[in-house]
Structure formats: C-alpha cells, structure tokens
Amino acid sequence: MTKLWGGRFQKSAESWVDEFGASIGFDQQLVLEDITGSVAHVTMLGKCGILPQADVTAILAGLATLQDKAVKGELVFEVANEDIHLNLEKMLIDEIGPVGGKLHTGRSRNDQVATDMHLFLKNRVTEIIELLTAFQQTIVAQAEQHVETIAPGYTHLQRAQPISFAHHLLTYFWMLERDKARFTESLKRIDISPLGAGAMAGTTFPIDRELSAELLGFSSVYANSMDAVSDRDFIVEFLSNSSLVMAHLSRFAEEIILWSTDEFKFIELDDAFSTGSSIMPQKKNPDMAELIRGKTGRVYGNLMGLLTVLKGTPLTYNKDMQEDKEGMFDTVHTLVGSLKIFEGMVRTMTVNTKRLHEAVHSDFSNATELADYLATKGMPFREAHEVTGKLVFTCIQRGYYLLDLPLADMQKESALIEADVYDVLAPTAAVSRRNSLGGTGFTQVAAQLAQAKQLLG
C-alpha cells in the first residue's frame, strides 16, 4: 500500500517494520479529538481564504461522516496507515476524493498530535476533578455520621491518642482538596493551543492561530512554534498530579484493608465491594482496596517512563514522543476507575462504632491526658511525662488500664493527682478537650466539616 508520505520512497517497509512504528493500536483513542482539531483547522483555512469555501464544505461534510462512524464504532483502522492522523486523512480522501488531501494544508502531524493531546487531557482532567469532588462529598457524608465516634489515633501504627473518627476521615478530604487544586492549576498549561505551529517553524500560509484556538475552546496559543510541538510538560504534570492522587488513595486503601481485618474490625466493607476465596469459605477480602493500592505502582511507573523518554531529546519533535501516549491513557483509565471504586467503597462501608469504643477503652492512648493534667497543676511537663510513664508501667504489670488504677496507687507517684483525674482520663473527654484550632475536639471537627461543606458548595 502506498503511504500518504510515500513520494520520495523507492520501496516500502515490511509489514513488521510498519507494525513497530505504528501508534494506531493506541492513539485511536484520540479519534474524536483528531476530528475536532481538523474541523477547527479547515474552518480556519476557509475563513483566512487559504482554501475555497467549496473545498471547506466538502471536507467538513467528510469529517462529519467520519465522526458519525467513529461514534458508532464503524471505523476500521489500519496499521499500514501508522497512526490516527494518517488513518483519518486516508479515510477522508476515500470518502470525498482528492479534495480531502487539502485538509493538511499549513499543518503537520506534529502540531496535530500535540493539539489532540491537549484536547484529550483538558476533558479528562475536568472529569477527574469532578470525580475527586464526588469522592470528597462521600467522605464528608461519612464523617458527618461520626463526629462523636471516638477511635484510636495512631503514630508508628501504635495507639497514640483518641480521636474523633470524622477527624480521621476528613484528613483524606484535605488531601483530595490539594489534588484538585493541583489539577485545576495545571489546566492553565493544558488549555493552550499548539495548532498552527506546523512541523516546528510555523507556516508560510496566512493562517490565524488565534481563530483555530478559539474554535477549539483553548484559552491561549503557544508563543513559540518549536515549544508548541516539543512540549510534553503538561503530560508529565498530569502524571505527577495523578501519582500524588494514587499515593493518597493507596494510604486510604491500606487503612481500609487494616480496618477490615479481624484484628482491627473497625469497619466492614459492603459485599458489593468485596470478594470471596475459591477455597476458604469464610473469606471476605478487600480486593478493591488492594488493587487500588497495587495500581499506584503503574501510575508512578508511567510518570517515570515519560520523564525518561523526554530526557535529552533534542528539539523539536522526535519519534520518541510517540511513547507519551500509552502511559497517559493508562493513567486516565486507572485514576478514573480507582476514584469511582473508592467512592462506592467508602459510601457503602459500615463503621463498627461499638468496636471503636471498646478499642479506645482498652489502651493507654489517654496517657497524654494524665501528663497534661499534672502539667496543668504546675508540674514541669518533662516530670509529668516521667510520672505518667511509671504509672503506665504499673498498670501493665498489674493488668490494668489507667482508668482502672485506684487513686491511692496514682497518688503514690504524685500527690497532685486527685479524684477528678478520672474525668480527664475518659476517652471522650480526651477528644472533646482537644479544642485547639484544627484539633480533634468535637467543636473543631464540626467547624472543619462546615468548612469542607462550604468548599464543596
């Protein structure tokens, strides 16, 4: 088969060579963006008097037919036509005759592919921001049910201090809020048109780049045609922002997995988001959370992959850049899927409040309360820490928790301890009294919830 660029060639490549160089296997995902870009380009060519209106009309009609077929899944792509751009151009010529060959006037696949990628990411990032918001709404709804549910808070995965369970859940709200801010900020660098940069140096045709940018809904145009065709920063940025989302999801996933164990039993996942074992009848596995934790790896890999592809590539376009696509598609797919699943998992999970209550009443996470109590009574905090530590040790030896230790035993370590110490040691008191700004005190958590809801609008 003759290539659209075959003029200067005496022989054609063997099919297995074509296969290696082709991107149609994956860049067909850009089919609608590519048609949209062509519609804007040819409209602009007409408006600028570069193509007669009759040709423009014919090309637009052909593109409309291709778009229709694309939506219906009727287009048959060929490896011999290398990529989405040449496949569509060939189909256009087959559809409307040689006039279809005028579409590529004043354009190159280099500005064309960059345009497609910008259009693609602009839409996907907008969708991802919406999914992040939906997940935040679910987190807020769960948190609302658990402002006064007391749970153990951890450092080093050791019981640290009691907290409001809502406070724990809302931590993820804020991570996602930052993720959203990063994606929103990145739109500035996605929402910019490379179209009209040509192969790299611009074109001799009197094109109007601002017009085609406007037709495509882009806010601005690249100032430098060489930068326009060689910039892939916006994709790296997307992969980096996505990596951070996955880091957050993987941390949450890990907690969901831990909380679902018999050892913790803090939550139970809905059957719809769990799986069984083929051999062990009792099993209910948190597969979805594990998968999301696992999929974090491929997204990090995609980021490292593209950074490495770009390293040292000279200006401007190099075929290396064709390698920017699969990781991007894979990341979009992974992120969209993970966010949808995670939202459903959190929306349908049951929080075992009884178990959480038991947990905070059978540990030493109220030890800081005792130290603070002594410090409030004038004992230097370092000394209060020491006294409390000794009392914890006494408890461990005698099989008590601090709340069970008789007052007389406490007073052996410090005469400052009085009967009111038991009020202070109660886990609920420990939480409600942590009223410093952003702390886990109920009033603070309620204020935080209100702030979160306000941000969600």
Q: Which residues are catalytic?
A: 156, 277
Angle at 264 between CA 295 and CA 424, to 5 degrees: 125
Q: What does the block give as tokens for 39?
A: 């519609």
φ and ψ at residue 155, rounded to 5 degrees = -130, 145
Other CB atoms within 10 Å distance of the CB of residue 145: 13
C-beta of residue 397 within 8 angstroms of C-beta of residue 387:
no
By CB under 6 A, is residue 23 in contact with ligand ARG? yes
Nearer to ligand ARG, 109 or 122 (CB): 109
By CB under 6 A, is residue 109 in contact with ligand ARG? yes
Q: Which amino acid is at 115?
A: T
Nearer to ligand ARG, 55 or 116 (CB): 116
By CB under 6 A, is residue 322 in contact with ligand ARG? yes
Nearer to ligand ARG, 8 or 72 (CB): 8
Other CB atoms within 10 Å distance of the CB of residue 168: 20
By CB under 6 A, is residue 316 in contact with ligand ARG? no
Q: Which helix (H) or strand (E) holds 160?
A: strand 158-164
By CB under 6 A, is residue 230 in contact with ligand ARG? no
Nearer to ligand ARG, 89 or 179 (CB): 89
CB-based burial of residue 93 (10 Å sphere; 0-12 exposed, 13-18 middle, 19+ buried)?
Answer: middle
Nearer to ligand ARG, 116 or 369 (CB): 116
Q: Which of residues 270-289 bind ligand ARG (CB under 6 A)?
A: none
CB of 427 to ligand ARG, least distance (A): 59
- Determine how β-strand 220-221 pairs with β-strand 192-193: parallel
- CA-CA-CA-CA dihedral for 120, 123, 129, 133, to nearest 10: -140
Contact code string over 348-387 relative to ligand ARG, x by CB under 6 A: ----------------------------------------
Alpha-carbon distance of 50 to 386, in angstroms, equals 85
Q: What does the DSSP 8-state code read for residue 275? A: B
Alpha-carbon distance of 123 to 121, in angstroms, equals 5
CB of 114 to ligand ARG, least distance (A): 9
By CB under 6 A, is residue 44 in contact with ligand ARG? no
By CB under 6 A, is residue 110 in contact with ligand ARG? yes
Nearer to ligand ARG, 18 or 148 (CB): 18
CB contact set of 343 (below 8 Å; sequence gap of 6+): 131, 134, 135, 138
By CB under 6 A, is residue 203 in contact with ligand ARG? no
By CB under 6 A, is residue 113 in contact with ligand ARG? yes
> Which of the ranges 108-116, 367-375, 387-395, 412-420 carries the binding residues for ligand ARG, by CB under 6 A?
108-116
> Which of the ranges 128-136, 249-257, 314-322, 403-411 carries the binding residues for ligand ARG, by CB under 6 A?
314-322
Q: What does the DSSP 8-state code read for residue 157? A: T
Q: Say how many Å lie between the first and final Cα of the chain, rounded.
A: 57
CB of 93 to ligand ARG, least distance (A): 18
By CB under 6 A, is residue 330 in contact with ligand ARG? no
Q: Name the residue among 189, 300, 306, 165 with its Cα closest to residue 245.
A: 300
Contacts with ligand ARG by CB under 6 A: the residue count is 11
Alpha-carbon distance of 87 to 75, in angstroms, equals 10
Alpha-carbon distance of 325 to 319, in angstroms, equals 12
Q: Name the residue among 340, 317, 110, 125 with its Cα closest to residue 239.
A: 125
By CB under 6 A, is residue 83 in contact with ligand ARG? yes
Give residues in contact with ligand ARG (CB under 6 A).
23, 27, 83, 85, 109-110, 113, 317, 319, 321-322
